[in-house]
Amino acid sequence: MRSEPLSLTARGESQRGARRRISPVLAALAFTSLLTLTATACGSDATDPKVQASPSAPAASGGDGKITIPDDIRDRLKEHGIDVDEWKDGAWKNWDRDDWLREAQDYINPIIEGLWDPDRMRGAEDPDRGVRESDLSGDQGVTDPEPAPVDAKAASPAYHDSVPEAGKVFFDSPEGTMVCSATVVQDPAHPGKSNLAWTAGHCVHAGRSGGWYRNIAFVPSYNDQALSAGQLAGATAKELAPYGVWWADWAQTSDQWIGQGGPTGGDGAPYDFAVIHVTPEEGGTGKSLEETVGSALPVNFSAPAVPRVERITASGYPAAAPFDGETLYQCQDRPGRLSINASEPTMYRIGCTMTGGSSGGGWVAAGADGKPALVSNTSIGPVSAGWLAGPRLGEVAEGVYDSVSGKFAGR
């Protein structure tokens, strides 16, 4: 291992600091970059937003095509002391620990129409979670030699043509407006009509130090045409979000991440995954996310052991230097093993120079049938940006996935 400190981050990244967490990004880049994955400042607020739906139940559509909040959802919000009108007027900015919903069953995410406008998306940054070299001692034979760095390559635009499942996740945290990466995955309860996306646990929940993040939304094929930062300064919502903004009406991560996940180090990283169920902000055309983007990946919960995996391709929107968070990048490498704690599952590790903001991005490998399948997601990486690590998906991950799928099975 290198002697410099490692910053295997799961929350975000600061462009001004030395640590980086391959994950969500904070909103502090003014209007120079669309969705920067750096966690240094907060973004601007939307003006006069309107709440439309809640993530804890199916959205209802009114006669005008708008999504409305069903009465049972309003009642559920009230159970947590949340008034819908106050929430849409900015009450969601209250991050007092006593009011920050934490438990798995407490997830609530009412849609605030117009909140994720181009300016706000452009100012989002990347949360940061790091691991120091001393945290990796005592791996006792379950950690392979550090991989050689693999230069991240920009994906060919339009991204939808080459990686239609990839996109960005936006959310608000106590530190500000942030972003992660995510992947559209299949839903066994709704074949061909999935509304599920896979990301990192630290992109939806703060772990042991906090609770659920707010205003979580997914933008597939973000900046599909790979416009430069300068071009994006005047970009329209359609150019930034060609397939619309999809709000997470439900999110679920592992109990291990909620109980162990930390802002620094590798705590909880082997269980750093999450599944979100989404609904279109504007009611949409009646098509699912999968139908809208035209694809969804299967998830492999029994991927072969590391020595038998020939190649993994990781995708994401890195934001820390030398990247700006506006472009989709990919790394391809044969994985090795990384163990944060000998008592927890060993993680996949690949050489990759992607930085913060790529957190949550999908790791894809060929399945037994030779077709691509999701096998992991970006969780942590060193400050030197030479490699990334992601959890190996097993029974716990499959339980999270099945739970979200089952929750919406009859809807």
CA–centroid distance for 4 within its chain: 27
pLDDT of residue 303: 79
Residue 411: in which H helix or E strand, if any?
A: none
Mean pLDDT of 117-129: 78
Q: Which two tokens stand for residue 402?
A: 């099945």
Q: Where is mean pLDDT largest: 132-136, 208-212, 281-285?
A: 208-212
The proportion of the chain whose per-residue pLDDT surpasses 70, expressed as a percent, equals 78
pLDDT band at 127 (very low <50, low <70, confident <90, very high): low
Mean pLDDT of 113-127: 85
Closest CA to 379 of 344, 343, 411, 408: 344
Please indicate whether residue 261 or residue 69 has the higher confidence score (pLDDT): 261
pLDDT of residue 71: 66
pLDDT band at 385 (very low <50, low <70, confident <90, very high): confident
pLDDT of residue 325: 87
Q: pLDDT tens across 286-308, in order?
A: 899 999 999 999 999 987 778 78
Sort 149 into a burial class: Cβ within 10 Å, 0-12 / 13-18 / 19+.
middle
Q: pLDDT tens across 1-57, in order?
A: 322 223 333 333 332 222 234 534 443 222 222 222 222 222 223 333 333 332 222
pLDDT at 142 over 80: no
Of 80-84, 128-132, 317-321, 388-392, give the lowest mean pLDDT range.
128-132
CA–centroid distance for 386 within its chain: 21
Cβ contact 391:269 at 8 Å:
yes
Which CATH number is 12-407's, of 3.40.1390.10, 2.40.10.120, 3.30.420.10, 3.30.1330.50? 2.40.10.120
pLDDT at 334 over 70: yes
Cβ contact 76:108 at 8 Å:
yes
pLDDT of residue 2: 28
* In the chain, where the domains are located: 12-407
pLDDT band at 68 (very low <50, low <70, confident <90, very high): low
pLDDT band at 59 (very low <50, low <70, confident <90, very high): very low
Q: Which residues of 234-251 are buried (b: 16+ CB within 10 A; e: fewer)?
A: ebeeebbbbbbbbbbbbb
pLDDT band at 207 (very low <50, low <70, confident <90, very high): very high
43 three-class SS: coil
pLDDT of residue 38: 23
Mean pLDDT of 177-206: 97
Closest CA to 22 of 329, 375, 396: 329
State the Cα–Cα distance between residues 218 and 183, nearest whole angstrom.
9
pLDDT band at 341 (very low <50, low <70, confident <90, very high): confident
Q: Which residues contact 134 (CB under 8 A, 6 or more apart)?
A: none
Average pLDDT, the chain: 80
pLDDT at 277 over 50: yes
pLDDT at 74 over 90: no
Mean pLDDT of 330-334: 97
pLDDT at 283 over 80: no
State the Cα–Cα distance between residues 181 and 78, nearest whole angstrom.
32
Cβ contact 91:106 at 8 Å:
no
pLDDT of residue 64: 43
- Determine the longest span between alpha carbons in the chain, in angstroms: 63
pLDDT of residue 333: 97
Q: pLDDT tens across 215-257, in order?
A: 999 999 999 999 988 898 888 999 999 999 999 999 999 999 9
Q: Which two tokens stand for residue 410?
A: 């009859």
pLDDT band at 79 (very low <50, low <70, confident <90, very high): confident
E strand residue ranges, 190-322: 196-199, 214-220, 246-253, 274-280, 312-316
